[in-house]
């Protein structure tokens, strides 16, 4: 029994690690990475999609000597015209920056590099970067800690259901508690620091991160209530585990907080010929 329990815990941690990697490499806030071939040599690039709102976001690319580029940007969801800047190689790099924006402000941008014959866009579509307020480690670290172990216990509870073990009830209770602290207490505090709002999900908004957090908590709460009356129930903890998995498979920060500049600006009037 001890060996089986150890193996199940180990499997839960491995699955959580895989989900953590998935979360780190997907979603609209993680850097766009790739390579571009210039003068017969590949050059790697990383384009930021998230930045603290108290500083400009750097855009930098190693290039061959004499390379030129054009950098275009404008505020996302605005009536702005594109701003275009011509860039020249300096010390083996093309470098510029994206002007800082208030928390939840976004900028859409694209970098085209001249390969000697034509300009090559680094990405098929322009990249969107979102600015956010800085979150203190004393807030962010506990949030990540509790959410990490909430997922570990969620997976372990699901595995306990599969092997028809007898520890489902207390594991469900621990999962619920971890998710309450990490998701519904620490999560809104993180959100407040980052975007100056404690909650932007239902019923106040459509923030998918807040909504999926609420959905997962509700299903674990139901599972815990059901298990209090019937410790042999396996359906609801299994459902709660599946919901939790679905929550973590949705890329982080999808449909997150953003400023719509068009709501506070007048659309430019276009003159028509008589």
Q: Reduce the secondary structure of 132-159 to three states and give it as a string.
A: ECCCCHHHHHHHHHHHHHHHHHHHHHHH
Tokens matching residue 265: 């600006």
Sign of CA dihedral 24, 25, 30, 36: positive
Collapse the DSSP code of 87 into the 3-class scheme (helix H, G, I; strand E, B; otherwise coil) and give the result: strand
- Are 196 and 103 in contact by the 8 Å Cβ rule? The answer is yes
Chain position carrying tokens 């509870």: 157
Give, as one character, the DSSP assignment of residue 6. Answer: H
pLDDT value at 241 more than 90: yes
Domains of the chain and CATH, by start: 2-26+135-249 (no CATH), 32-132 (2.60.40.10)
Return the closest-CA partner of residue 74 out of 120, 128, 133: 128
User: CA 255 → CA 24, 28, 177, distances in Å?
Assistant: 17, 9, 26
- Are 48 and 106 in contact by the 8 Å Cβ rule? The answer is no
pTM of structure: 0.82
pLDDT value at 271 more than 90: no
pLDDT value at 254 more than 70: no
Checking 25-31 for CB contacts under 8 A at 24+ apart, the result is: 26/251, 26/252, 27/251, 27/252, 27/253, 27/254, 28/128, 28/130, 28/251, 28/253, 28/254, 28/256, 29/130, 29/252, 29/253, 29/256
Q: Distance (Å, rounded) from C-alpha 69 to C-alpha 81?
A: 19
pLDDT in tens, 21-54: 887 777 778 899 999 988 889 999 999 999 999 9
How many percent of the chain have pLDDT more than 90? 69
């Amino acid at each position: 029994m001890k060996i089986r329990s150890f193996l199940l815990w180990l499997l839960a941690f491995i699955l959580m690690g895989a989900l953590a990697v998935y979360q780190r490499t997907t979603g609209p806030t993680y850097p766009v990475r790739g390579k571009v071939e210039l003068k017969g040599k590949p050059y790697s690039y990383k384009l930021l999609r998230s930045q603290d709102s108290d500083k400009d976001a750097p855009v930098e690319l190693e290039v061959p000597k004499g390379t030129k580029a054009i950098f275009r940007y404008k505020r996302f969801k605005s009536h702005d015209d594109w701003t275009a800047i011509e860039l020249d190689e300096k010390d083996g790099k093309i470098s510029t920056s994206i002007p800082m924006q208030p928390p939840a402000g976004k900028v859409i941008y694209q970098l085209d590099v001249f390969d000697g014959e034509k300009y090559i866009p680094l990405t098929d579509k322009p990249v969107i970067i979102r600015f956010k307020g800085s979150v203190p480690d004393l807030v962010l670290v506990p949030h990540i800690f509790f959410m990490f172990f909430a997922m570990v216990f969620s997976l372990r509870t699901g595995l306990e259901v599969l092997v028809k073990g007898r520890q489902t009830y207390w594991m469900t209770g621990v999962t619920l508690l971890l998710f309450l602290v990490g998701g519904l207490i620490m999560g809104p505090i993180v959100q407040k620091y980052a975007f100056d709002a404690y909650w932007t999900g239902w019923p106040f908004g459509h923030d998918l991160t807040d909504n999926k957090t609420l959905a997962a908590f509700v299903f674990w709460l139901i599972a815990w209530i059901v298990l209090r009356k019937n410790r042999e129930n396996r359906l609801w903890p299994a459902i709660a585990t599946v919901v939790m998995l679905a929550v973590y498979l949705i890329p982080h920060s999808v449909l997150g907080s953003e400023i719509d500049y068009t709501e506070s600006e007048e659309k430019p009037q276009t003159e028509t010929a008589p």
